[in-house]
Amino acid sequence: MDIEIEPLVVPESLDAPGGADFAEVVRIGNEAWRRESGTDLHDDDPQELLARWRETPYRVTRAILARVDGAIAGSGRIEIDKTTSQSAEVDVSLAEAHADGPVADALFAAVDALAREHGRSVLQTWTIHRPDPVDDRLVPPTGAGWIPAQDAATRRMRRNGYVLGQVERNSVFDLQGSYDAVDRLLEDALAKAGPDYRPVWWAGPTPPEYASGYAAAIARMSSDPPAGELSTEQSAWDAERVFERDTRLADAGVLMGVTLVIHGPSGEVAAFNELSIGQDRTRPTDQWGTLVMPEHRGRRLGAIVKCIGLRRWHELVPESPRVSTFNAEENRYMLDVNEAVGFVPASYAGAWEKRLS
C-alpha cells in the first residue's frame, strides 16, 4: 500500500483552492464519528470548522491528510493553545476502509512529528464509542466508566502509545419534550442559592460588562473540571479573546447562548453554561463549557445555569431537536444534575494522553 502524507492547508473558503480536500476531510470525519458512536450528534459543519481552524492570536491548527492511490483515506491535526506551553489537542479521522491499520499508524506518526515541530510534548485526544454492553472492557484509572477494549478506535490508540486517562459520558436532552423537571429543578436551585446569586442570560455577542468575568471563568475550564489521569495546563483568557471568538464564530453562522450566575457581593462569575449551534438550526445543539467555580459550589448553581440555558435556548432555537453534552464519569454532581433534568446517555468517549520523549 502506497500511503502519501501531505499538508492540509486551511482554504480561504470552500470554493477556494483546497476547498474540495477540506470538505472531503470533514465528510470523512463525520462519517467516522457516526460509525463509531452510532449517532449523528457530532457532525461538524465545514463552514464552522473553517472558522475554528484559522489561526488566531490565541490558537493555531496544523493539519495533514493521507492519500492511498490518490484518494483521501484520512486526516490528522493538532490544535495548540498559544497561551500554554506543553499540550496539544490531537485528532485523527479515518475512512472506513482504513479504520485500523497502516494509514492510521502513518497519520499518528505524522501528528507526533507536527507536535514536536511546535514544541509540544503532551498530546491529548478523544475516541467515541457506542453504549452497547461488551464483556471485554477497558476501565480508566479513575475506575469510573469504561470503553470497549477491542474495538478499532481503542486498538489504534493503544498501539500508537496513548494511555486511557478518563471516560466521559455523552448525554442528550430532548428539546422537544417536557420541561416539567427543568422547571422544578430550577425553582429548587434558585431557592437554595439565595439572593446573593443573580442569573444572567444572553445570545450572540458577549455583553461588554460581563466579558472579563466570563473570560476568567472560561480559563478555569482548563484546570477545574475532573480530568482523571490527564495532564492539565492553565489556559489564559481575557475579554479580548472572548470578543475575538464571538466575531469568528458569528462570521461562520454559529449562534451561542450563555448563562452566567453572578455573585452579587463580589461581582464574580460564579457559574456558567454555553450552548452552541451552527447555521443549520434544525441540527442538534452542542453544550460547550459548564462550570461552577470551586469557591461557590454547594449552592445548586450548576442546576441554575443548566436549566435557564435549556429553557431560553428552546425559545430561541425551537427547531433544534436535542442538546448533546459530555461529562466525566467521575463528575457525579454534574451527572446528577443532567439526570434530574432529563439527559440520557447516548455514547461514551475515551480521553487519551501520550507523552513524547
Name the nearest CA neighbour of 39 among 354, 349, 357: 349
> Is there a domain that residue 183 lies in?
yes
- Provide the residue-wise pLDDT of the chain in tens; the chain has 357 residues: 899 999 998 999 999 999 999 999 999 999 999 999 999 999 999 999 999 999 999 999 999 999 999 999 999 999 999 999 999 999 999 999 999 999 999 999 999 999 999 999 999 999 999 999 999 999 999 999 999 999 999 999 999 999 999 999 999 999 999 999 999 999 999 999 999 999 999 999 999 999 999 999 999 998 888 888 899 999 999 999 999 999 999 999 999 999 999 999 999 999 999 999 999 999 999 999 999 999 999 999 999 999 999 999 999 999 999 999 999 999 999 999 999 999 999 999 999 999 998
C-alpha 142/C-alpha 226 separation (Å) is 10
> Is there a domain that residue 231 lies in?
yes
Asked whether residue 132 falls in the same domain as residue 91, the answer is yes
Residue 145's domain is classified under what CATH number? Answer: 3.40.630.30
Number of independent structural domains in the chain: 2
> Is there a domain that residue 356 lies in?
no
> Is there a domain that residue 351 lies in?
no
C-alpha 145/C-alpha 137 separation (Å) is 9
> Is there a domain that residue 115 lies in?
yes
**Contacts with 12 (C-beta within 8 Å, 6 or more apart), sequence order:** none
Question: Residue 137 in contact with residue 154, Cβ under 8 Å?
Answer: no
Classify strands 285-292 and 137-138 as parallel, antiparallel or unpaired.
unpaired
Domain region containing 76: 3-169
Cα-only R_g, the chain: 20
Helix (H, G, I), strand (E, B) or coil at 313: helix
Question: Residue 164 in contact with residue 352, Cβ under 8 Å?
Answer: yes
Asked whether residue 44 falls in the same domain as residue 129, the answer is yes
The DSSP bridge partners found for residue 92 are 76
Asked whether residue 151 falls in the same domain as residue 13, the answer is yes
For the beta carbon of residue 218, count every other beta carbon within 10 angstroms.
21
- Answer with the one of 169, 194, 225 that is the final residue of a domain: 169
pLDDT of residue 223: 83
Asked whether residue 316 falls in the same domain as residue 336, the answer is yes
- Answer with the one of 146, 169, 192 that is the final residue of a domain: 169
For cell 457559574, what's the residue?
271
Asked whether residue 219 falls in the same domain as residue 257, the answer is yes
Residue 125 C-alpha cell reads as 485526544
Q: What is the DSSP letter of 133?
A: -
18: left (phi over 0), alpha (psi -120 to 50) or beta: left
Helix (H, G, I), strand (E, B) or coil at 16: coil
Asked whether residue 186 falls in the same domain as residue 157, the answer is no
Asked whether residue 254 falls in the same domain as residue 108, the answer is no
pLDDT of residue 285: 98
Asked whether residue 150 falls in the same domain as residue 196, the answer is no
State residue 348 phi and psi, 5-degree precision. -135, 145
Asked whether residue 186 falls in the same domain as residue 147, the answer is no
Asked whether residue 286 falls in the same domain as residue 252, the answer is yes
> Is there a domain that residue 357 lies in?
no
Asked whether residue 285 falls in the same domain as residue 311, the answer is yes
Helix (H, G, I), strand (E, B) or coil at 159: helix
Residue 37 C-alpha cell reads as 458512536
pLDDT of residue 357: 86
Helix (H, G, I), strand (E, B) or coil at 74: strand
Residue type for position 198 = R
- Answer with the one of 144, 169, 194 that is the final residue of a domain: 169
The DSSP bridge partners found for residue 202 are 258
> Is there a domain that residue 354 lies in?
no
> Is there a domain that residue 353 lies in?
no
Which strand (E) or helix (H) includes residue 301? helix 301-316
Which strand (E) or helix (H) includes residue 263? strand 255-263
For the beta carbon of residue 143, count every other beta carbon within 10 angstroms.
11
pLDDT of residue 313: 98
Asked whether residue 226 falls in the same domain as residue 338, the answer is yes
